[in-house]
Amino acid sequence: MISKLRPGLGRLLTEPIVRLIARTGISPNALTITGFLLNALVAGVLAGGYLFLGGFLVLFAGWFDMLDGALARISGKSTRFGTLLDSTVDRFSEAVVFLGLLVFYLAQGATLEILLIYFTIVGSIMVSYVKARAEGLGLRSEVGLFARPERVILLALGLLLSRISPVALLVVLWILAVGTTITVLHRLIHAWR
């Protein structure tokens, strides 16, 4: 859903800053690694229980994650390895953010939240895997409501709303756990058809 708006919106949000970064000579791969480090910082914030602040940082790190691909295009440094590195690091970035939440909930002994985080991590990885595997077989499978941009925004929303209601994040974790699984099934059915 958001993924369809992403190319135009992404350019609007990233192009001015990417043009500045391109002048520095920083490589797209360096930005990819920096994005992961930012997400690791977010994980530390979440593990410490600063969920509201974590919500803002999730959005910032998510925006930062768009910069590497835009820099590769604008600077003419797009490579197949860079694309592979970006996709791989995106999976690690998402997982490390959820690791931060997992540490937070482990300290509280919140079994339900821990299980939902586990299912969300697995679902998120499988959403990307099904798409990549389908493309490797020459099939298209980019359907579904819970691609990475939607997951990032929804998680950030849950974290931000947790300040108003502690149940907000639990609801978002349910939505993510179920939604990623439905997206995997949707992509499989789409590829099958």
Topology annotation, domain 2-192: Four Helix Bundle (Hemerythrin (Met), subunit A) (1.20.120)
Q: What is the CA radius of gyration of the chain?
A: 17
CA pair distance 178, 183, nearest whole angstrom: 9
pLDDT at site 161: 97
pLDDT at site 10: 58
Worst-scoring range by mean pLDDT, 18-22, 121-125, 154-158?
18-22
Residue extents of the structural domains in the chain? 2-192
Cβ atoms 54, 42 nearer than 8 A: yes
Position 84, amino acid: L
Cβ atoms 42, 61 nearer than 8 A: yes
Position 4, amino acid: K
| Band (119; pLDDT cuts 50, 70, 90) | very high
pLDDT at site 25: 82
Q: What is the pTM (predicted TM-score) of this model? A: 0.88
| Band (191; pLDDT cuts 50, 70, 90) | confident
